[in-house]
Amino acid sequence: MNSLKIDPTNGACGAIFIAFGAFFAIQSFGLDIGTTFRMGPGYFPLVLAGILIVLGVVIVIQATRVAGEPIGAIAWRGALFILPAPIFFGLTVRGLGFVPALFLTCLIAAFASHRMKPAAALILAAAVTIFSVAVFSYALGLPFRRFGPWIGF
C-alpha cells in the first residue's frame, strides 16, 4: 500500500471542491429545507452541496491512484498586482473619484509584468486615463464623479 502518495494537483482540486461543498452544505442547514413537495430555499443547494462533496472525494481517491501532470509555473507576481487592481478601484472610485482611481488602478496592474519599466507604466496609465475619461465620462456620460471628496476639489 502506498496510499500516502497523493498527486498534489488532483488532491488540491478535490479538497477545494470538498471545501466548497461543505461551506454550501453548512450554510444550507441554516435555511428552511422543506419537503420534496414544497422545497424550501435550502433544499436544492443542500442536494448540490452533497453531490459536490462526493465528487470532491472521488477526485481525491483518483489522486491516490494516478499521478497527474505537475502544476507548472505560477504567476505569483501577476496575481500579486493584477488581483488587487479591481479591488483598489472599488475602494477608491467613490472617495478619490474616477480619474485618480483609474490612473492608480492601471499603474498597479502594469507592474504585474517584470518587463514593464516605471516610466512606461506612468505614460501608459496616463494615456488610459485620458482615453477613458474622454470616452466613458464625457462621450458616454457615465455618472462617475471625476474627482471625489477625498481630494477636496
Residues 6+ apart with CB under 8 A from 136: 142, 144
C-alpha cell at 58: 472521488
Regarding 145 and contact with another protein (CB under 8 A), the answer is no
Give the number of other Cβ atoms within 10 Å of residue 98's Cβ. Answer: 23
User: Whose Cβ is closer to another protein: residue 1's or residue 122's?
Assistant: 122
Regarding 31 and contact with another protein (CB under 8 A), the answer is yes
By CB under 8 A, name the one of 5, 65, 67, 91 that touches another protein: 91
> Residues 52 to 81: which contact another protein by CB under 8 A?
52, 55-56, 58-59, 62, 68-69, 71-75, 77-79
By CB under 8 A, name the one of 94, 122, 145, 147 that touches another protein: 94
Report which of 35, 57, 53 is spatially closest to residue 44, judged by C-alpha positions. Answer: 35
* Max Cα distance, the chain (Å): 71
Regarding 3 and contact with another protein (CB under 8 A), the answer is no
Placement of cell 493584477 in the chain: 82
Regarding 118 and contact with another protein (CB under 8 A), the answer is no
By CB under 8 A, name the one of 6, 20, 146, 147 that touches another protein: 20
Give the nearest distance from C-beta 147 to another protein in angstroms.
Answer: 16
Residues 6+ apart with CB under 8 A from 126: 103
